[in-house]
Structure 1
């Protein structure tokens, strides 16, 4: 009989310990959740962007306004295939031979998941090698930033 009574006492003690532990966890996680969600959110200022559909295909002085690409045969195919993944400035700041542009396309296909350009590859290579071929300028020109803004 004593053994049965001792066992019941141990079960009661274990139940109290478990209940206390669960209550402590509830209070702890509830407090963490409260403090995590009660901190003031930082105010993010939205910068208005002027979307102008009519200016997307605008060309001024032989330069495509939206991308900075030189207006020439193959420009549209180059815009469609190159700017889907990265900025047009990544193209316009570089100068390569036809072989260099081809090697870059192959590298992007092998490592960056660039799709097969199909019949557009020849058109794009002609465009890039003609308009963004190496020059004797030396170092590439600095990128021009139209407007600087501070990050808060």
Structure 2
């Protein structure tokens, strides 16, 4: 008994399709749940009951030290909205990225919109006004520069005399 070439080709295509479906099913059964959970991960405020930091064995209370109004672990100013800011912002990047920047409320809004458009930041929903209030209040632009202006009149100048050989 001989197979017709067109029937053989169709059987090979069906066999390959079955292998691909079997492979995807096997991969999903092994890793699918973990991949889906990590893909849909949303930040959770760290002060929820039962929170334990990644592997240190310390409870959240042991890591909530506040010194001079600064949360020691993150470096963020401890003020109203702190937990929401820490939960949302540090889910993707270090708190240092927040503390090194200064902006108006509009500037912070622009940064959030950029992160949403370019970096995959989720919709902040009801948390957005709280986050913007916190950032605009605690990380607003400062009037001081990197250093005070030098008073040239007060400098005692001297001439450097070089000896010629």
Shorter chain as denominator, the TM-score bin is 0.5 to 0.7
C-alpha displacement at 1:96, in angstroms? 0.3
Q: Paired residue for 1:72?
A: 79
C-alpha displacement at 1:136, in angstroms? 1.6
Please give the secondary structure, in 1, of the residue aligned with 2:120: coil
C-alpha displacement at 1:97, in angstroms? 0.3
**Mapped contact 1:55–1:66 kept (Cα < 8 A):** no
Q: Once the two structures are superposed, what CA deviation does each residue of 1:7-51 show, in whole Å capped at 9, x if it has no partner?
A: xxxxxxxxxxxxxxxxxxxxxxxxxxxxxxxxxxxxxxxxxxx93
117, 124, 133: which one aligns with 1:117: 124
Q: Quick check: 1:82 aligned with 2:89? A: yes
Largest Rg, 1 or 2: 1
Q: Quick check: 1:63 aligned with 2:70? A: yes
TM-score in terms of structure 1 length: 0.56
Unaligned runs of 5+ in 1: 1-49, 141-152
TM-score in terms of structure 2 length: 0.52
What is the CA–CA distance in structure 1 between the aligned matches of 2:90 and 2:116, rounded to whole Å? 15
Alpha-carbon distance change, 55 to 137 in structure 1, aligned in 2, over 3 angstroms:
farther
C-alpha displacement at 1:106, in angstroms? 0.3
C-alpha displacement at 1:122, in angstroms? 0.2
93, 100, 123: which one aligns with 2:100: 93
136, 140, 144: which one aligns with 1:137: 144
RMSD over aligned Cα atoms: 2.0
Does 1 or 2 have the higher relative contact order (CA < 8 Å, sep 6+)?
1
Q: Quick check: 1:105 aligned with 2:105? A: no
The runs of 4+ residues in structure 1 deviating greater than 2 Å are 50-56
Unaligned runs of 5+ in 2: 1-54, 148-165
